[in-house]
Amino acid sequence: MLRVVEIGLKKEDIDLRKKTNIAIIGMPGSGKTTICKKLADLSKKDFVDVDSLIVSENNITIADIFEQYGEEYFRKLECDMIQRLSLIDNVVISTGGGCVKNIDNIDNLKQKSIIIYVKRDLEKLETAGRPLSARGLEAVKKLFDERRGLYEKYSDIQVENNTDIQDCAIRIYKSYLKHIEKSDK
């Protein structure tokens, strides 16, 4: 710790340099996965999708996990997957919309990731194949009201995604680089 003081760096600056990952949070259907794929191309990082990895490892869809085992079981699988992903460097992580409900997920993501909240107008959210948001606009509004504060609290950066996905990915990447540059000053 003495060395940090001697060279004039703050602990949080050093921690920021260790954050080689980009983790995207936001509502189901906000474009997280598509944006993450584009971000991976822009940043030359690998792309990982929490939900896809859960499906692949368990050989069952997310909707079927919810239906057969319940949300609590899914959240445990999600937490285990995020914990494992927190050990990897140089990845763009697409999270599930509800990952913010468990502080362990956030703590694990914060270890190596800059967390970016992708905002999207509720009317524009894609709901097909999404167990919790496929129940109609009122259910989506309720879900959003429950999670919005968590998305805002845990994100390092917030970006709107109401227009072009490529443009959104570029804005996120520029914001990420700017955020990282703060540690170099």
Local structure of residue 121 (DSSP, 8 states): -
First vs last C-alpha separation in the chain: 19
Tell me: the pLDDT tens digits for 51-77? 999 999 999 999 899 999 999 999 999
- Domain 18-180: which topology? Rossmann fold (3.40.50)
What rounded mean pLDDT belongs to the chain?
Answer: 85
CA atoms within 13 A of residue 101's CA, in its CB half-sphere: 17
H helix or E strand, kind and range, residue 105: helix 103-112
Tell me: the pLDDT tens digits for 161-178? 878 889 999 999 999 999
pLDDT value, residue 184: 56
Tell me: the pLDDT tens digits for 107-128? 999 999 999 999 987 776 666 5
Which amino acid is it at 145? D
Q: Is the pLDDT of residue 28 over 90?
A: no
With H, G, I as helix, E, B as strand and everything else as coil, classify residue 115.
strand
Q: Is the pLDDT of residue 139 over 90?
A: no
Give buried/exposed letters for 160-176 (b at 16+ CB in 10 A, else e): ebeeeeeebbebbbebb
When pLDDT is averaged across residues 21-46 and rounded to a whole number, the result is: 93
pLDDT value, residue 143: 86
Measured distance CA(41)–CA(102) in Å, rounded: 29
Tell me: the pLDDT tens digits for 151-160? 999 999 999 8
Measured in whole angstroms, how far is the alpha carbon of residue 183 from the centre of its chain? 21
pLDDT value, residue 138: 81
Give buried/exposed letters for 72-97 (b at 16+ CB in 10 A, else e): eebbebbbebbeebbeeeebbbbbbb
Which range has the worst mean pLDDT, 1-10, 128-137, 161-170?
Answer: 1-10
pLDDT value, residue 127: 60
Measured distance CA(27)–CA(95) in Å, rounded: 10
Which amino acid is it at 134? A
